[in-house]
Amino acid sequence: MQIQVNSKHTLHTGESFERWASGELHESLSRFKGEITRIEVHMSDENGDKASPDQKRCVMEARLAHHDPLAVNHQAPNQDLAFRGASDKLKRVLDHTLGKLRDHHRDRETIRREPAPESGTP
């Protein structure tokens, strides 16, 4: 699973933030590593120099091997909360989407299944 962290010119993320973010995503999304090929994280400051309660924004896009990409976003007062909020949302979306795909495949009938034994009385 490849992780790429980007930021707009209005918000400067350092190398330490990128390492931390990559480690957090690897740990929290490890159970999906077979399905996820890449995650792109985009950090931005929505209001620039203006003060506002939810000025930091994090957008995460997960590229999947056999499915369309999934994207989430979260706004918060600081970079850390924006990242954690988007990460939690991405985990829920992946659980929901990939869980539905797994359930769909599990419910299919197959011709390779042996017939159930008849439970008649002798």
- How do residues 8-28 score in pLDDT, each as one tens digit? 765 667 788 889 999 999 999
DSSP label at residue 91: H
pLDDT band, very low/low/confident/very high, at 92 (cuts 50, 70, 90):
very high
Q: Which two tokens stand for residue 35?
A: 């399905």
Amino acid type, 19: R
Radius of gyration of the chain (CA): 21
Nearest-angstrom CA–CA distance, 75 and 71:
14
pTM metric for this prediction = 0.75
Lowest average pLDDT, out of 24-28, 60-64, 95-99, goes to 95-99
Q: Decide if pLDDT at 100 tops 80.
A: no
Nearest-angstrom CA–CA distance, 65 and 78:
32
pLDDT computed for residue 55 by the predictor: 84
Residues in contact with 67: Cβ distance below 8 Å, sequence separation at least 6, in sequence order = 35, 97, 98, 101
Q: Decide if pLDDT at 69 tops 80.
A: yes
